Structure 1
Amino acid sequence: MLPSELATVDACIRLCLYAVHKNISFRAMDELIPTLKASFPDSKILNSVRMCRTKAARIIVAVTGETQKNRLIQIMQQTYFSIIVDESTDITSEKVLCVVVRYYDENVGHIRDVFFDLIELDASNASSIKTAIVKRLDQFNIPYKKFMLGIGSDNAAVMVGQRHSVTSLLRDDCPHLVSVPCICHSLALCASYASKKLPDHLEQMLKDIYSYLSASPVRLQQFDKIQCMLDFNPIRVPRMHDVRFLSRGQVVKAVLSRYEPLQIYFGLASNVDNLSNASKIHKTLADTVTEIYLLFLDFILPFVDNMNKLFQSEKPEIISLHATLSRKLRQLLSYFIKDDVTRSTNLTDIKFHPHDFKPVHDVYLGVKVATKLDASKIEKTQLLAIQNTCTAFYLELALQMFKRFQLENEIYKSIQMLEPINIFEGRCLSVGPVLPHFPTVIPDSMWQDADNEFNEIKHLNFKCLGLTQLNDAEDFWIKITNFRDRNDALKYPLMALMTYESNTIFTTFIGGS
């Protein structure tokens, strides 16, 4: 191929990659190429480009896509990795399984997530999914029994169940496989189950408000006018989705921020439209107890949502996972369990006996709830019912979190010793407790060598090396494990291997089935 032809091919590929990177439709190629030619008539390379949307799509699929996949296969054939899988149904009702691979990329110096394949499934049962995964890995001669460390998935029983699930079947081939269900999905389920302890009409009202307003542009316009009359910037009350993790808190916040306009609007609508739904919503909004429950949700749901956002971080959080979850759980328990219990008892030893609960009038419900209760004239029986209901919410939320998060999992408990603060303060004597969890990465014959490296790292002058400012575990260990000796070889190769591969076991996933 002549140099001019190579330049033309290179230009076509670069234009296609740019379209993909910027999420530009391939249809734009039909007009983009003629526009570029008209703008740069003196460019010989551009004038030799012959490409429309069909060719652009084929270049991405058959050239760049195939090249990238072959490169990933080569990496998986010689590098430890984990897979993240999710089942779905496409527009033709065909069942498919998306597989993403997570591995440490030595070229860029951090963990990468790369799309591996979209596998068609014959059925949605555990055996079919496991067979499809193994068949595709074997097809590309990937030694998954040696290199696959973990699998991340949703919380469906078919994926993470104790018996006859995809995970349990894969463990027949990979005994040390770590299963890590999605923490965000787990947290959403925790909040959903806890919300069932609140009055049923509360959640129904939040759904009905959206349904009523969104059913008619006229209603939305009328609601906007009322907001403007009361000096509010018009907003839309979002829809509450059962499957969208953060929607519940967003809906509660929106309703509370426009509580007065909503009361006025549905008061008018119940008289003008004469619809039972509008009257029901207005009656619920007019009840002071409703506002108190919403204020309580506005306090506690951000607690769950902020945990959700934390574990959606792009950086690996596995090292700090156990400490973060333990701290958040202890904070939640302090709201309704006596302080001497939460401070002195190991989390896994707390049994939730009623005699360990605070008196209901001491249960913490948030500043806004306390202020509203002081300003409202609520009967003692109603107040007691609110306090008992909120305590039941706390209890269910805590029970669900204890059920779904593996606080006793030795991997997450032991690996937290690799937190930079623990290294700086010399809290860890040995890395020995971590090593047995990664037998395929570092065999027992090399455990002492790995521990020798760890002991040497502990006695580095972190301040002189500029490491005391690195609170992020990934940044700290990348810096440490890239130290080289006089022969330009890695100074701590075993610690590098362990920290890199442990971080391939996911950032956004943890939990129990």
Structure 2
Amino acid sequence: QSYCKEREANPLFSGWLQPVSGNTGKARCRCCNIQFTAEHTVLKNHAKSNKHQEKSKCLAPTQKSITQCMQVKPNPEKLKLETAIKTAELKLAGFLAEHNIAMRAADHLTDVLKDIFKDSNITQNLSFGRTKATAISKNIIGSCYFEELSEILKRKKSSVLIDESTDIGNVKTLCIVVHFFDNTKSVQTCSWKLAQIFSAQNRDAAQEGASAERLLMQVYLSNILGFGSDGCNTMMGKNNSVASRLQNEFPGILLQHCTCHSLHLCVSAACIQLPRRCEDLARDVYNYFKNSSKHMAQYQEFCHVEPHKLLKPSQTRWLSLQQVVKRISSQWDALLLFFTSQWLEARLNAAENIYRCLNDAWLRLYYYFLEWSLPKFTNLNENFQSEKVMITTLRSKMAETYKDILLSYMESNYAVMTPLSRLDPADASKFLPLSNMYLGVKQENPSHSQGILTNFRVRCQRFLVTACLEIKKRFNFDDPVLTHIECLTPSIATDQRSWSLYPSLLPLLQKVPRIVDPENTDLIQLIDDQWRQVPLMKLPENFKEMDVDQFWYNVLVLEDLGGRRVLKELAAFALDILIFPHSNASCKRVFSKINLIKNKTK
């Protein structure tokens, strides 16, 4: 007997009877998921079977109609409780993420909260485990942050900073950070994305630049003003680099090498001029104590010194070298006593090598010299790692440190009077005599022989010359933007005496076509007129003490008696130019946060 379509309307068969595709003599039960012949008797017997009647309960009408739903009035108390529960779950997920707490802790946290706050309806109705905590962090908190930042970048000008991870992980990642001014009275720095560079399709360094550019293009770059990164060829090379491609795509953007990277490379190159034993001593002392709590305890008991850890010199930690030198130099005498005992008693080769280095007065002179010279670089490095706006003082601070180093080994007239861009740090005819070089007060010790001092001073001179050559190679003291951007500093912008140096903003306006269109002469003239009005206006005294971005924000909202913003165009231009990058230390901070979760348990 063939399948009869009309039987589906029979109340006994409706809802579960279905035909079998390709076989007209068969029927199928949707509830039991079995087939049988399409005879009427077989169908009736199946409908009366216990198995079918048990499974057919799923066909009971449980969903309400739209009309019924519209007639039901929502319970305000219930809605209020549900909203409070969702808010609590959001805050708990944010708390776990902010404080780097493992998401699996949410499984136990909920039980603890329910046990503590038994009288709270919100807590007792929480359903918050590791799965929900992860989903909220990724799909709600993360997505909302990304959407909000995207909307800001669509309407605000921004600069982009990128850097690559340098940790020991197998996955190399690229961090993208954006720099912009939002209506929060200051320049903001926000993380945009952390993405993997190498993949199965991209496995060599030749494609690294293209991969970085492809990730960078996901940012809303139509309003990009500047790009900052370290000085590697992949990022800042002249040909086929990320910077060169951005220049072709967005003409007029400002490219800035990371100042912190550059300073670190200057110091590393200069340290090569010193004896290798300086570095060997630091590494040997660290290695002697690092895995032996016994040695450390013996050292502290023997010399009665404070329990300061001996540090390790690192090529990737910008500020580590000064701390290593300072720690060893401050404990030199104690270390000498301890390793004299270790060499005589334990007869270890490692202890003997360290003893001979510590007993070398010539080597100690180099540590005194490094203790004096390294802070010149590290203090500047720390300054440019700040999240505050530093672009207005970048050139002046670099020039100040550059001259300070030059004056320690060159004639003062030549170092001070010669323009920095034309000064030759390696011009031996302008060198001071070795005995007149300034190498710090600790060098003036009459106990040192003349031969040791001469050799020492020659090495130190090479160190200073190399450091200055590296600074000149990596920093352009004639950069037109950095030269003129200094005038935006509050103390200069409000001082009438600065008119002789900066009578007009036109030289700066002409160098930033992505902020002001060169053909818009009316706007250029308006900005320049407002610039000349600033020193004549009676601004509040506290304006001069503000950070540069906060100063120009307050100038932006400054109104006259008629409620008109009198310096609006000038302040808007200044705030746009202040987002130019000076270093990508912000990317390093993102990597530091990521490294917090890289451990054996996570």
Fold shared by both chains (TM-score > 0.5): yes
Q: Check 1:490–1:468 CA distance in 2 against 1; reply closer, same or farther (3 A cut).
A: closer
Higher relative contact order (CA 8 A, sep 6+): 1
Q: Check 1:440–1:14 CA distance in 2 against 1; reply closer, same or farther (3 A cut).
A: same
Instruction: Quote the offset at 1:336 in angstroms.
Output: 0.8
Equivalent position amino acid for 1:149 in 2? L
Q: SS state of the match for residue 350, structure 1?
A: coil
Max Rg structure: 2
Aligned mates of 2:434, 2:167 — CA distance in 1: 50
Equivalent position amino acid for 1:225 in 2? E
Matched, 1:429 2:499: no
After superposition, where does 1:21-60 map in structure 2 within 5 Å? 21-60=98-137
- The answer for the alignment partner of 2:415 in structure 1 is 342
- The answer for the alignment partner of 1:117 in structure 2 is 193
Q: Which ranges of 4 or more aligned residues in structure 1 deviate by more than 6 Å? A: 89-92
After superposition, where does 1:94-493 map in structure 2 within 5 Å? 94-106=171-183, 108-121=184-197, 122-123=202-203, 125=205, 128-134=208-214, 137-138=217-218, 142=220, 144=221, 146-228=222-304, 232-352=305-425, 353-370=427-444, 373-374=445-446, 376=447, 378-426=448-496, 427=498, 428-444=502-518, 445=520, 446-462=523-539, 465-467=540-542, 469-470=544-545, 472-485=547-560, 488=563, 490-493=565-568
Aligned mates of 1:238, 1:89 — CA distance in 2: 20
Equivalent position amino acid for 2:283 in 1? K
Q: Check 1:413–1:66 CA distance in 2 against 1; reply closer, same or farther (3 A cut).
A: same
| CA offsets 1:142-165 (integer angstroms, 9 cap, x no match) | 3x2x31112222222211122222
Aligned mates of 1:468, 1:497 — CA distance in 2: 17
The CA RMSD over aligned residues, in Å, is 2.2
Q: Which one of 567, 571, 575 corresponds to residue 496 of structure 1?
A: 571
Instruction: Quote the offset at 1:452 in angstroms.
Output: 1.6
Q: Decide whether the 8 Å contact of 1:126 with 1:166 is kept in 2.
A: no
Greater Cα offset, 194-203 or 153-162: 153-162
Q: SS state of the match for residue 66, structure 1?
A: helix
- The answer for the alignment partner of 2:139 in structure 1 is 62
Q: Check 1:162–1:237 CA distance in 2 against 1; reply closer, same or farther (3 A cut).
A: same
Aligned mates of 1:488, 1:358 — CA distance in 2: 62
| CA offsets 1:47-76 (integer angstroms, 9 cap, x no match) | 211101221111010011101101111111
Aligned mates of 1:243, 1:82 — CA distance in 2: 25
Q: Check 1:415–1:124 CA distance in 2 against 1; reply closer, same or farther (3 A cut).
A: farther
Equivalent position amino acid for 1:361 in 2? S
Instruction: Quote the offset at 1:3 in angstroms.
Output: 2.9
Q: Decide whether the 8 Å contact of 1:85 with 1:100 is kept in 2.
A: yes
Q: SS state of the match for residue 506, structure 2?
A: coil
Aligned mates of 1:468, 1:116 — CA distance in 2: 32
Aligned mates of 2:95, 2:129 — CA distance in 1: 15
TM-score w.r.t. the length of structure 2 is 0.78
| CA offsets 1:121-178 (integer angstroms, 9 cap, x no match) | 334646543455446645x7x3x2x311122222222111222221112111012122
Q: SS state of the match for residue 507, structure 2?
A: coil
Q: Which one of 506, 509, 512 corresponds to residue 581 of structure 2?
A: 506
Equivalent position amino acid for 2:330 in 1? S
Q: SS state of the match for residue 437, structure 1?
A: coil
Aligned mates of 2:169, 2:359 — CA distance in 1: 47
Q: Check 1:124–1:470 CA distance in 2 against 1; reply closer, same or farther (3 A cut).
A: farther
Q: Decide whether the 8 Å contact of 2:185 with 2:550 is kept in 1.
A: no
| CA offsets 1:370-428 (integer angstroms, 9 cap, x no match) | 2xx22x1x332221111111111111111111111121211100111112222232212
Q: SS state of the match for residue 93, structure 2?
A: helix
Q: Check 1:234–1:361 CA distance in 2 against 1; reply closer, same or farther (3 A cut).
A: same
Q: SS state of the match for residue 180, structure 2?
A: strand
Aligned mates of 1:397, 1:20 — CA distance in 2: 43
Equivalent position amino acid for 1:347 in 2? L
Q: SS state of the match for residue 219, structure 1?
A: helix
Aligned mates of 2:216, 2:225 — CA distance in 1: 17
Aligned mates of 1:124, 1:190 — CA distance in 2: 29
TM-score w.r.t. the length of structure 1 is 0.91
Greater Cα offset, 160-169 or 479-488: 479-488
| CA offsets 1:320-359 (integer angstroms, 9 cap, x no match) | 1111111111111111111111221111121231111111
Q: Decide whether the 8 Å contact of 1:90 with 1:96 is kept in 2.
A: no
Instruction: Quote the offset at 1:277 in angstroms.
Output: 2.5
Aligned mates of 2:584, 2:482 — CA distance in 1: 12
- The answer for the alignment partner of 2:28 in structure 1 is none
Q: Decide whether the 8 Å contact of 2:257 with 2:583 is kept in 1.
A: no
Equivalent position amino acid for 1:276 in 2? N
Unmatched tracts of structure 1, length 5 or more: none
Q: Decide whether the 8 Å contact of 2:209 with 2:241 is kept in 1.
A: no
Instruction: Quote the offset at 1:93 in angstroms.
Output: 2.9
Equivalent position amino acid for 1:479 in 2? N
Aligned mates of 1:322, 1:366 — CA distance in 2: 26
Aligned mates of 2:536, 2:113 — CA distance in 1: 60
Aligned mates of 1:135, 1:104 — CA distance in 2: 23
Q: Decide whether the 8 Å contact of 1:453 with 1:492 is kept in 2.
A: yes
Q: Decide whether the 8 Å contact of 2:302 with 2:338 is kept in 1.
A: yes
| CA offsets 1:72-104 (integer angstroms, 9 cap, x no match) | 111112211111112237887333322111111
Aligned mates of 1:10, 1:170 — CA distance in 2: 42
Q: SS state of the match for residue 349, structure 1?
A: coil
Indicate the percent of aligned positions where both proteins have the same amino acid: 27
| CA offsets 1:466-493 (integer angstroms, 9 cap, x no match) | 2464263223222212213567564323
